[in-house]
Structure 1
Amino acid sequence: MKKVAFYTLGCKLNFSETSTISRSFEEKGYQRVEFNQDPDIFIINTCSVTENADKKCRKIVREAQRINPDGYVAIIGCYAQLKPQEIAGIDGVDAVLGAAEKFRLTELLDGFVKEPSGNARVYNSSIEEVLDYHASYSLNDRTRTFLKVQDGCDYPCSYCTIPLARGSSRSDTIGNVIKAAQDIAARDVREIVLTGVNIGDFGIQNGIRNERFADLVKALDEVEGIDRFRISSIEPNLLTDEILEFVTDSKRFVPHFHVPLQSGSNKVLGLMKRRYRRELYKDRVEKIKALMPDACIGVDVIVGHPGETQELFLETYAFLQELPVSYLHVFTYSERANTNALEIKPVVPASQRAERSKMLHILSEKKKRAFYESQLGRVSRVLFEEEIEDGYMQGWTENYVRVMAKYDPLLINEIKTVQLSSIAENGLVEVTEPEMVLG
């Protein structure tokens, strides 16, 4: 029995796909082990969002060689689709598989026999040929699962390589997603996080829009055995009143939204080719807060995009400062081959990008602290996780407050109603002792 290990870089979507691919190996008789447990085969699922993709990939390949010099190393994922020949030239890589081939690893590589040095096998179809949809979900954490419902993207944002790495927008059917959710429920998972590249664009099968994301949400709300559904990220122009109003009164969808902004300047949004302007974004945030005052709202924002002057960056800073959002995911712009942003001037110096990133990270900490403070004294329902640190366990409230409580094995994978009492030195919210839970 050959041993196989997996390493995943990047987003929740990658994790869901790695988990599904790993299960296909186990079904064929392979033994899944941890990366450091001397595997015979290393599968590295890569990301392409930042310029560090190359460095990260090389580092993990070197670590695989150190663990087992005779191990077979296969690279899959977005970076593998975008730059297969570059990856094939990395010392120690035996195979590179693109977006259309990564779900056929065991079929294409047939026994995983190492190649002579410098002769990596490359399987990489043109992204225009990547049309099939592969359902996936993670099972790495028994408290919650990342369930893929959509893949690819038809939005040509200036800075983004995802359409080049994952192809056009395509989705599973509502019926298949419901079946997957029911299968997950049978595994004692309490929470499902819906994930995809552009999940608000759900509903396209074989190039035709047949269904809607709003209808998927309504159908999932009826699935028994899952306590919570969480929407991982959704474009503001696709976050409709219909969806928000349904979530407000939902049995299972939680009041937590992650809504990409990318820039608070309309001029920069235009340069980025985003499909909305700041006025619409503000309207969506205000609508969420009007319906669900305690909702948590996360924001993606990019700093240093070409054409972003200091004045335009300060527009973004002031816009975010005034918005009642809860935290920021800050990305520093990095040049990506074959993107329109490379043609936009002026280019923002790296030092200014770093300074702007620092400013927004500080603002994010302030926003998060203010949101947590607004929740103190509230009674909330917490899903406790298995991880233990210094005698404490952690969990998430429905509206995404990270809490800590003294370790109690009976609380693992349980949802308990507690009172949020204070903010600890590590920034997490302390709750009443487990024996004092309110229900």
Structure 2
Amino acid sequence: MPHTHITYWPRVLLLWGCGILAAMQFAKVSLAFALLQQQFGVSATQMGWALSVVGVVGLSLGVSMGLLAPRIGYRRLLCGGMLLGAVLAAVQALSLPFHWFVGTRVLEGASHLAVVVAAPTLMSGTTAARHRSIAMGLWSTFVGTAFALTAAGGHQFLAYAGVPSMFALHAVLLLIAAVLAWVALPLDQPPPASAAHGAGLLARHVRTYTDWRTALPGLCFFCYTGMAVALLTFLPRGLTDTDRWAATVLPLMGIAGTFGAGWLTQRSSPLRLLRMLYPSLGLAGVLCAWSAMTGWGYVEAAIALMLISGLAGGSAFALIPHLNHDSAQQARANGAVAQMGNLGATLGPPLFAWSTAMHSAWGLAIPVLLLASTGAVLTQWGSIMQRSAAGKPQSP
């Protein structure tokens, strides 16, 4: 997909909206978790699997989707994913048995993955180079924005209209977005000769993780998602009754960080920025633990931790166009980001839960330090590779 010298902001906002609606495939079940558990008569563990199975699909097929995207066509892939999501949300509005509901969630994983691979690649292609980091920063807020929007009006909507109406509304919004995207986005270009064929899929999968330019954004994003959901779950536990207002501010600070990363990486290399952010992230985790023990400054430390983690997540997204200028490479990098992001979101919460149970206040700082240290090592490696590759052309 060729790049442009003009930024089409309406398309950028439309693609961002598609991402938000895809993220609501997680947010809607999270919001209605207790109601759905009661409706189906299942345990919290079973309902938890129904929530997380969407991410498991991305974990297992993320890179494969990124490899196949150029051959399918990004516009077709995006609109097909949105239409599939709309159909599944409409089916979920019916009175389904639990096992059928879980089946629709598995298919929603494919819908979600199609959108998160195609939309950022299309966004990069419809954005001028001078605005690309800003657009990627905006894109990286799609999950947090979906959860914030769902939390803002979702409880009132559920109380007034019920769970089936929430699923039906999601289906309608997905359908409208799919039609708008089909009309507004340019036609897909013929697939390049290097587009993935089935026989070479495994080899190209390996190539994604052996090429530092396509692997590094996903690996850095893992260090972010390994803590993002867990921090939103465990940070509020340290709040006192008088500080409960901060539970609403924390996700907003994460969104502010991810969007702010787009502006910062417009002026500085995202790799250079990440090399500063990961040590700051570890320090913020230590400050949170110290504040929890002393009872002083916990809200400020928690807000700083969420802001810095959001900056790290947005900067990891900005690495994709910074390191990969070919759309096929960007799709591979987006696939790795989807896969590694789902891996982090799957492993992070149980790691934090175990650590906080074992070590009380310091239990939150230990995983943060572990992930921040991993990110620091990765970015140091990336800097070395970038210096060694200076002046060498990228291979398509």
Q: Higher strand proportion, which one?
A: 1
With structure 1 as the length reference, what TM-score do the two structures score?
Answer: 0.23
Q: Higher helix proportion, which one?
A: 2
With structure 2 as the length reference, what TM-score do the two structures score?
Answer: 0.25
RCO higher in structure (CA 8 A, sep ≥6): 2
